[in-house]
Each structure stands twice: as C-alpha cells, then as structure tokens.
Amino acid sequence: MPTALEELAVQASTCVACRLSEHRTQVVFGMGDPAADLMLVGEGPGAEEDRQGLPFVGRSGQLLDRLLLEEMGRTRDSVFIANTVKCRPPGNRDPKPDEVETCWGWLEQQLDLIAPAVVITLGNFASKRLLGTDVGITKLRGSAYPYRGGSLVATFHPAAALRGGGAVLAQMRSDFVRAKLLLDGHGAGR
Ligand code: URA
C-alpha cells in the first residue's frame, strides 16, 4: 500500500496548475524520511534538480549536506527536503507570487503528513511564505518561531553562503545549531 505521502507525490507529478509546468522536465516533489522530525524547505528546483527529479543535488545541496552533518550530525536521508515551488522556474528566475500560492497546497500537505518537530526554511521565499510575512530573511534569521505545533528556524539559502562567503556561512551554522537544540529539546522558546 502506498503511503499518503507517496500518493501525494504521484498526484503532484502531473500538476499543471501554473505556468512553471510548461518548462519543467519533471516535478521535484522532495526526498527523505516521510516520518522525519526535521524538514528543510528551499526555494525551487534548479537545472540539476529538474534533471534528476531530486531537491538540492547541485552545489547548494552539497553545502546543505555539509551543514546538516557538521552542525547537526544528520544525513539527508534522515530528514525531509522539499521546496516552496516544485517545478523549476525557467532560467532560475525567482518564483512569482502567484506560482508560490498555487504550489502552496502541495507543501502544506507535505507539512501536514510529515508533521516535523522543526522546519528550517532556506532563504527569503520559503521563510516569508511559511511565516506569512513580508519581512526579509536578514531580519527573520537568528530566532526560532512557533510553527504548526513545533518550531521554525529561518536561515539563509545555501546559495547566499556560496556567494557571500564566511559571514553568511557562520550565521547559517548557528541557525542549524539552533535547530539541533530545539530537536534535542533544549531550546524551547528560543
Ligand atoms: N535551490 C533550491 O532552493 N532548491 C533546490 O532544490 C536546489 C537549489
């Protein structure tokens, strides 16, 4: 019997609800443990993700894997990784507000089914959409927020660390440690 999350992935794979479906190779639904206590949400698939059908498999993904391992002792198969939009925006442009809204139903159902204790949002698009705010990531990061009965930690997108270097990376490291403390049960309310 397929799980509810597997059924959702099958439904999403043929989604044509927005214009992003016209350009994609395939829907990048997400990957990882369907019962994960930790979920990471990025922006949208890039070229490599569109090709492989998996999230964060390019350079940003390599950095994400390193941060997960070095700051949290976790591998990607022990978490669930998804994106705000499931189809690659052409030319890697930013997702448009109506595309984010149209795709929200898939992400919302993923959040409901996985029900992680902690969500890490990576970058502006995921952080703003999940927190329902227009405040930018530079202001949002550095705190944890109550979210769906658990906590949300907003941090930069790994691509920002690849561009921006050491200072951004150091802040991301401290955000990942914040998420680990929450998962370990030591960081409630931080
Ligand atoms: N950037 C994202 O936001 N998501 C991916 O899956 C890859 C790069």
Which pLDDT tens digit goes with each residue over 4-21? 999 999 999 999 999 999
Which pLDDT tens digit goes with each residue over 94-103? 999 999 999 9
Q: Is the CB of 125 under 6 A from ligand 1?
A: no
CA distance 93 to 96: 9
Q: Is the CB of 50 under 6 A from ligand 1?
A: no
Nearest by Cα to 143 from 166, 115, 120? 120
Pocket test for ligand 1, best of 31, 39, 48, 49 (most atoms within 8 A of CB): 49
Q: Is the CB of 45 under 6 A from ligand 1?
A: yes
Q: Is the CB of 158 under 6 A from ligand 1?
A: no
pLDDT of res. 188? 47
Q: What percent of the chain is predicted at pLDDT more than 90?
A: 95
Which residue type does 28 have? V
pLDDT of res. 172? 98
pLDDT of res. 186? 64
Distance 83 CA to ligand 1 centre (A): 7
Nearest by Cα to 43 from 140, 160, 165? 160
Distance 37 CA to ligand 1 centre (A): 20
CA distance 18 to 2: 27
Both tokens assigned to 67: 């941060």
Average pLDDT, the chain: 96
Which pLDDT tens digit goes with each residue over 131-158? 999 999 999 999 999 999 999 999 999 9
Q: What domains sit in the chain, N to C, each tagged with a CATH number?
A: 4-186 (3.40.470.10)
DSSP state of 91: G
Burial 31-47 (b: 16+ CB within 10 A, else e): bbbbebbbbbbbbbbbe
